[in-house]
């Protein structure tokens, strides 16, 4: 039986094991390089394409569905904003198709972009109990609301240590590059978008290093946030999801109740 997690605002429950590499391919939002020390006029203003932080204090669930592949289920992100004396903070909790928590992140929001403060992966132990693995945030730069150079390659890096002895560490390095603006059909109307190309490297350190590289892209909709993402994982395979709908946590709980009944 799942229950609401007091820290993340989501369900915590036992869930079947998922490969670490597959889990890390799931979208981790807002990972671009920005600088607060530049006085030049930005080439691109992107804040309106990020998630609408100031209107998400009550939180919304974003449901993403596979573009192709009937064997894949929906994925859910619960996004919620918090405002305090320090300003705005933005959080996201990721649930898989079985309504189990797999990721949680927290960002601080500034005038010209965001910084990732915390990121956690959740993985079951041998008894099925969920264990939380905190990331070492090696590069905390978040989504830029201003982009000084549209041709820049933008860097982000996280690392998780799953075992100290023997050592098992996974490092995710992600580069993004702005491609172009365009339009995307969502809820029956055309929405202005920005598109980013992705290059990722995953280093699985366990008695040596096993490195894999991936490519893909992400699309952000004006006033919405992420509306589409694709990860090319090789041999003609890819993970491709698009935003289907948004709804409240109460509606998400109703979906969960229907799932377990």
Q: Determine the pLDDT at residue 42.
A: 75
Neighbouring CB atoms inside 10 A of 253's CB total 16
Burial call 21-37: b when 16+ CB within 10 Å, e when fewer: eebbbbbbbbbbbbeee
- Residue matched to tokens 């009937």: 70
Q: Beta-carbon neighbour count of residue 94 at 10 Å?
A: 24
90-113: average pLDDT: 95
Give the tens place of pLDDT for each residue, 123-148. 988 888 899 999 999 988 878 888 87
Range of the domain at 54: 3-260
CA separation for the pair 3, 116 (Å, rounded): 26
pLDDT digits 0-9 by tens, 25-80: 565 654 444 444 545 777 889 999 999 999 999 999 999 999 986 678 999 999 99
Number of domains in the chain: 1
pLDDT tier at 18, thresholds 50, 70, 90:
very low
DSSP state of 48: G
């Amino acid at each position: 039986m799942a229950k609401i997690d007091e820290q993340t605002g989501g369900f915590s429950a036992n869930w079947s094991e998922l490969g670490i590499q597959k889990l890390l391919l799931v979208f981790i939002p807002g990972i671009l390089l920005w600088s607060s020390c530049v006085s030049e006029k930005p080439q691109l203003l992107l804040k309106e394409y990020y998630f609408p932080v100031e209107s998400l204090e009550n939180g919304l669930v974003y449901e993403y569905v596979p573009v192709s592949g009937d064997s894949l289920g929906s994925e859910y992100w619960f996004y919620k904003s918090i405002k305090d004396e320090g300003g705005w903070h933005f959080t996201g909790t990721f649930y898989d198709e079985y309504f189990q928590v797999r990721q949680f992140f927290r960002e601080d929001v500034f005038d010209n972009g965001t910084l990732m403060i915390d990121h956690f992966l959740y993985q079951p132990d041998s008894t099925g109990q969920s264990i939380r693995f905190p990331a070492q945030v090696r590069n905390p730069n978040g989504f830029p609301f201003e982009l000084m150079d549209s041709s820049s390659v933008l860097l982000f890096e996280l690392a998780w240590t799953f075992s100290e002895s023997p050592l098992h560490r996974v490092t995710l390095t992600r580069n993004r590059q702005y491609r172009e603006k365009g339009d995307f059909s969502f809820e029956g109307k055309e929405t202005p978008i920005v598109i980013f190309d992705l290059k990722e490297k995953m280093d699985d350190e366990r008695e040596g290093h096993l490195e894999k590289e991936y490519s893909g892209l992400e699309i952000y909709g004006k006033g919405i946030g992420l509306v589409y993402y694709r990860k090319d994982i090789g041999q003609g395979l890819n993970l491709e999801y698009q935003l289907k709908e948004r709804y409240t946590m109460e509606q998400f709980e109703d979906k969960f109740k229907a799932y377990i009944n």
